[in-house]
Structure formats: C-alpha cells, structure tokens
Structure 1
Amino acid sequence: MKYQKGVGLMEVIVAMLLLGVAVLGFALLQYKSLGMGEQALRKIEAVNIARNLSERMYFNRSGTYKGVSSTDTTKCLNAYCTANDFALKDIADVTQLAKNKNMTIAILSCPDTKNLRNCIYVAWDETKASQSNSDPAACTEADKFKYKSGARCVVVEAF
C-alpha cells in the first residue's frame, strides 16, 4: 500500500480559491473605506463652513441673515457699513466658500424648536440644503428635525 506524500491537487485548488476570496474581500473593504473617508472629509468641510457662518452670525447679532440672498455687496468695504451690510457680505463670502467645495448653503428656521433659532444647512452631492416632507433630495423633514434617508448634509443650529 502506497501513501500519498505532499499536497494533492484538490487541496491546492481549494486553498487558492479561499485565498482569492479573501483577497477580493480585502480589496472591496479598502474600496469601501476610501468612499467613507471621502464622506468623512466632506462632513468635516461642511461643519467648518457652518461653524464659520455661525461665528459670523454670533458676532453680528443685529444683522439679518435668514432670508437674504447670497449676492456680494461690495459697499461693505467702506467705513459706513450697517449690520445688515455685514450680514450680506458674510453670506456672500461663506456661500462662495461652499461653492468652491461644490456645496450649497441655506439659513432656515430650525424645525420643531421653540427658541426660534436659525439652522445653517450645508449640503453636497445631490442633496439640497432645504427642508421638505415631499422632496426626497431635501436634507431634513420640514415639520420635525429628522435627516432624510441618504441625505448628504450637515445642519448646525445657530443664533
């Protein structure tokens, strides 16, 4: 009777198949982590943009920020600026900063709050910086604060 010495062809094929599946799984994990890292970077950038505008709103409390357009007003470069002129300039600056990063920004009333605070919405990709119960591309629900499924946005409560 002869006994087999070494490894048979079937064992080698099974081992190679397992190794191939493991390498493929590892490659998929790396690919997924790249996408998640990119989304984490976008969130950090969005929070920084919202924080920037929030700090500007804090220091210029008498300016009107909600409901104004983002057009740049250069009259704020002279010595006779009103608080609203500064607010317009702040919004124009931060909107341009967001646009440079392919993001949109909006200042809306915070939903479901009693203190009448403003919320700064910063959105990217297909998500809109808005509140809506019917629009699936909106960032949050309109009547209560709840992020939409798959929304790519950040909301910061401000003054």
Structure 2
Amino acid sequence: MNVFSIQRGVGLVEVMVALLLLAVAVLGFSAMQLSAVKATDESLMRTQSLSAIKTLSESMRVLPDSSSVYRKQINDIYKSSSSENLIASYCTKVDEYAVSAKKCNTTNCTSDEVVNYNVGAIVKSACSKDIILNIEICPNTSRVNERQCIIAAWNQTKPTMVDEKASCTDASGSYKPAASCFIMEAY
C-alpha cells in the first residue's frame, strides 16, 4: 500500500478549514467596521449638537434680558412640530420661522427682532444637521436661581424633560438610557 494513497484529500480539507477561518475573520472585521462607523456617526452628532447648544447659549448671553424671549421662540417652534417624523416636521416649522424673521443687526433692530433673527439662524443650522433644539427651565431651580436647560436631541429623541418614553430625560433631569441628546444649563 502506498503512503500517498492514505493521505489523498487531506490537502482539500485543510484548504476548506483555512477558508472557513478566513471567512469568520472577515465577518468579524466587518462587524467591527460597522461598529466603528456607528461610533463615528454618534460622535459627529454629539459634536454638532454641542456646537448648536453653545451658539444658542452665547447668543442668549449677549442679550441677557431676552432669555425668556429666546425660550419662548425656541419652544414655539418645537411645540408646533408633529411628534410623527419629528425631525421633518420640526425642520418644516424652522423653515417657516426663519423666512418670517427679519434680517437685521443690532443697530437697526429692537432686541426682540435680534432674538427672532438669531433664533431663526441657529435653529436652521441645527436642523440642517438633524438636531432639534428646545429650552426648558431646569428641574429643581427656584425663581431666584432659575436656570435654562438648552436641549439638543437627535435620532427621534424628543428635546424634553418629562416622564415620557422618547424624552431626553425624566422630569427630575436624569438622562434616559436610550436617549440621544445633550443638555446645557444657561443662566
């Protein structure tokens, strides 16, 4: 009996096992790539939302006596949006609002007109990045030390602080586990 006849087909089995291991490795690498892309997208949304919040906060600080006007304008835009397909509805309201805001600078406009113009520009920029903005009074702050919570939300998270499933936080201000949002306190 020939030694080579006993080993016939073993090379083919080794090649098939090697291909199977290679396929498993490629699938693992693909899953890792998908996870990295998701993490990058989330990081981009966080960075853009922080930029929108910071812009709004700085705009509010320029006109400190107008913070309630900012809150009202931002709230009116958000609250007039439909909860179904939230971002599309919100962006439609943003476009309507931005068109109606008078283009001005501080020398030609009242402070309310400046607020309207600033709000229009800020929410339009946020909306172009699929970010929804809202301002609420922060929980557990008194009238003497009242703080505004500027909320930026994305991925169908509602920019609210209520006990509701899709809300950013619960009524006490604790983030919900699946929420995609950021909150910044402004004085």
- TM normalised by structure 1 equals 0.84
1:97 to 1:11, Cα distance in 2 relative to 1, 3 A: same
Does structure 1 conserve the Cα–Cα contact (< 8 Å) formed by 2:102 and 2:116?
A: no
Does structure 1 conserve the Cα–Cα contact (< 8 Å) formed by 2:161 and 2:169?
A: yes
Letter in 2 for 1:137: A
For 1:12-40, what per-residue CA distance to the aligned partner results, in whole angstroms no more than 9, with x for missing partners? 32222111101111011112211221111
Letter in 2 for 1:61: P
**Secondary structure, in 3 states, of the residue corresponding to 2:43?**
helix
- More displaced stretch, 75-84 vs 90-99: 75-84
| Partner residue in 1 for 2:170 | 141
| Partner residue in 2 for 1:121 | 151
1:113 Cα deviation (Å)? 4.2
Letter in 1 for 2:168: C
| Partner residue in 1 for 2:19 | 16
For 1:73-125, what per-residue CA distance to the aligned partner results, in whole angstroms no more than 9, with x for missing partners? 31755745333332222222211111222221111112244532111111122
Unmatched 5+ residue regions in structure 1? none
Matching of residue 154 in structure 1 with residue 154 in structure 2:
no
Specify which of 119, 125, 131 is matched with residue 91 of structure 1.
119
**Secondary structure, in 3 states, of the residue corresponding to 2:113?**
helix
**Secondary structure, in 3 states, of the residue corresponding to 1:43?**
helix
Unmatched 5+ residue regions in structure 2? 78-96
The alignment covers a number of residue pairs equal to: 157
Matching of residue 81 in structure 1 with residue 81 in structure 2:
no
Separation in 1, partners of 2:124, 2:103 = 17
Does structure 2 conserve the Cα–Cα contact (< 8 Å) formed by 1:105 and 1:123?
A: yes
Q: In percent, how many aligned pairs have the same letter?
A: 34
Separation in 2, partners of 1:119, 1:62 = 16
Alignment RMSD (CA, Å): 2.5
Matching of residue 44 in structure 1 with residue 47 in structure 2:
yes
- More displaced stretch, 75-84 vs 48-57: 75-84
Moved over 4 A (4+): 75-78
Name the structure where helix makes up a greater proportion of residues: 2
- More displaced stretch, 111-120 vs 97-106: 111-120
Separation in 2, partners of 1:88, 1:157 = 21
| Partner residue in 2 for 1:66 | 71
Separation in 2, partners of 1:105, 1:121 = 6
- More displaced stretch, 69-78 vs 82-91: 69-78
